[in-house]
């Protein structure tokens, strides 16, 4: 039986906005109070988070981050991150190394080569390198394939990804941990951006405007053309709120929609994970589009789906995506569209959708329990 004294969590992320990582850390440190959790973090931005007393963050800094952005230097960054992570993890000497996503694989591989009996959990957030084309992507694919081979347990975000990964990487020891919304309690005060945004949205709602939220980057792979189509055909009583993008990208988006529709788009900026629920409480609908341009997108697992579902907000999704389409049809929580849809009819029907409440996980706390069960299984093995 494994005695769980120390757990190392290796991750490169913008921790402030990463609900998947935050929820796992919170639930593990809460359920294993006598275990020390050390988060070895390569941060993608500043963060202001507090965790349980048995959980500590150890930031990793890279010299190569000052280098120009190119595929060659990107490889050097991955190697430097891996080597520095290895040294820190070796010194910490954990019982379990829990690795999040492919950018952290190198450090875990170094560690496993020197300490072959150590237990590794690999949480594969995305399947980005399934059909690699560039040299760097081919290297990344081989690294991730090796990561699947050396890990004791693999975690993916939905059934479709499990099925795909089990075939591609020939690994059957894969479990599913969905991106369900984790309602984290916080004492953090709202910042001025969120306060002003709430005032703006509440004013629009008092004028009987319907608010459609789009969260995240507006790119071709995330359906930029579909978003433009919807905005250009919005009824007069609708507004679109954009969050998760910077002001520059917001201005770029305004340039590709009809001039007459520029006033229907509201800029919301970035909202951290603690307060994202405040935005979902005051919007009416959630727009989620994932084009089938690669397998990672086709078998998407966006937490926005569960956020909208959690707060009873109807989802507007693209019909072509099998995961989104199946979810909407299964739960009756929204509507689907494509380029041939009658958008006037769709918006009209959208306003008359019956209300729904989340029956999937709101009461049962299913997902937090899953990650705890993974650890209990390893301890008892």
Percentage of residues of the chain with pLDDT beyond 90: 61
Mark out the alpha helices in the chain (DSSP H runs).
19-31, 71-92, 105-114, 135-150, 159-168, 192-206, 224-232, 247-254, 276-282, 295-298, 303-310, 322-331, 343-350, 366-380
Residue 264 has pLDDT above 70, yes or no: yes
User: Considering the chain, what is the average pLDDT of its residues?
Assistant: 89
Residue 268 has pLDDT above 90, yes or no: yes
- Among 180-189, 241-250, 339-348, whose mean pLDDT is lowest? 180-189
Q: What is the pLDDT of residue 66?
A: 80
pLDDT tens figures, 319-347: 999 999 999 998 888 999 998 999 999 99
Q: Which of 22-36, 83-97, 169-183 has the highest mean pLDDT?
A: 83-97
Q: At what angle do helices 71-92 and 135-150 cross, to 10 degrees?
A: 20
Residue 359 has pLDDT above 70, yes or no: no
Structure tokens at 287: 């727009």
Q: Residue 366 and residue 345: Cα distance in Å, rounded? A: 37
188 CA to centre of own chain: 22
- Can you list the domains of the chain with their CATH numbers? 6-180+365-380 (3.40.50.2000), 192-350 (3.40.50.2000)
Residue 363 has pLDDT above 50, yes or no: no
Q: What is the pLDDT of residue 356?
A: 67
Looking up tokens 């390569």, which residue turns up?
Answer: 42
Q: What is the pLDDT of residue 332?
A: 87
Q: The whole model's pTM is what? A: 0.89
Q: What's the rounded mean pLDDT across residues 192-200? A: 93
Residue 361 has pLDDT above 70, yes or no: no
Q: What is the pLDDT of residue 360?
A: 55
The residue among 357 and 205 whose pLDDT is bigger is 205
Q: How confident is the model at residue 86 (pLDDT cuts 50, 70, 90)?
A: very high
pLDDT tens figures, 273-326: 888 999 999 999 999 999 998 888 999 988 899 889 888 899 999 999 999 999
Residue 371 has pLDDT above 50, yes or no: yes
Structure tokens at 339: 């380029």
Q: What is the pLDDT of residue 364?
A: 45
Q: Which residues contact 168 (CB under 8 A, 6 or more apart)?
A: 127, 130, 145
pLDDT tens figures, 126-135: 887 777 777 8
β-strand pairing of 174-176 with 119-123: unpaired
Q: Residue 149 and residue 171: Cα distance in Å, rounded? A: 7
Q: DSSP secondary structure string, 92-153?
A: H--SEEEEESGGGHHHHHHHHHH-TTSEEEEE----TTSS--SHHHHHHHHHHHHHHHH-SE
Q: What is the pLDDT of residue 367?
A: 58
Q: Residue 205 and residue 218: Cα distance in Å, rounded? A: 25
Burial class (CB in 10 A: 0-12, 13-18, 19+), 90: middle
Q: What's the rounded mean pLDDT across residues 243-261? A: 96
Residue 260 has pLDDT above 90, yes or no: yes
């Amino acid at each position: 039986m494994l005695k769980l004294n120390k757990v190392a969590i290796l991750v490169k992320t913008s921790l402030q906005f990463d609900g998947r990582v935050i929820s796992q850390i919170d639930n593990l440190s809460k359920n294993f109070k006598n275990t020390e959790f050390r988060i070895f973090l390569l941060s993608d931005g500043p963060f202001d988070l507090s965790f349980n007393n048995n959980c500590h963050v150890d930031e990793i800094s890279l010299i190569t981050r000052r280098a120009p952005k190119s595929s060659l230097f990107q490889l050097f960054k991955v190697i430097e991150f891996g080597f520095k992570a290895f040294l820190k993890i070796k010194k910490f000497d954990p019982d379990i190394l829990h690795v999040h996503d492919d950018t952290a694989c190198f450090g875990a591989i170094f560690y496993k080569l020197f300490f072959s009996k150590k237990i590794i959990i690999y949480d594969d957030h995305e399947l980005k390198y399934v059909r690699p084309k560039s040299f760097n992507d081919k290297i990344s694919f081989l690294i991730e394939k090796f990561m699947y081979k050396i890990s004791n347990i693999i975690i993916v975000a939905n059934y479709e990804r499990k099925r795909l990964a089990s075939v591609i990487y020939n690994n059957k020891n894969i479990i599913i941990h969905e991106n369900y919304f984790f309602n984290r309690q916080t004492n953090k005060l709202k910042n001025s951006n969120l306060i002003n945004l709430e005032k703006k949205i509440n004013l629009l709602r008092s004028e009987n405007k319907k608010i459609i939220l789009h969260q995240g980057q507006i790119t071709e792979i995330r359906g930029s053309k579909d978003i433009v189509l919807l905005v250009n055909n919005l009824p007069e009583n609708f507004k679109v709120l954009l969050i998760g993008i910077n002001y520059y990208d917001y201005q770029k988006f305004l340039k590709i929609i009809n001039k007459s529709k520029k006033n229907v788009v509201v800029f919301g900026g970035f909202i951290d994970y603690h307060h994202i629920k405040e935005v979902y409480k005051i919007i009416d609908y959630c727009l989620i589009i994932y084009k089938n341009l690669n397998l990672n997108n086709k078998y998407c697992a966006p937490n926005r789906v569960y956020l909208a579902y959690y707060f009873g907000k109807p989802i507007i999704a693209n019909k072509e995506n099998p995961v989104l389409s199946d979810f909407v049809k299964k739960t009756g929580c929204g509507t689907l569209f494509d380029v041939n849809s009658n958008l006037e009819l769709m918006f009209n029907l959208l306003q008359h959708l019956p209300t729904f409440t989340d029956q999937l996980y709101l009461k049962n706390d299913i997902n937090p329990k899953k990650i705890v069960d993974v650890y209990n299984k390893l301890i008892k093995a």
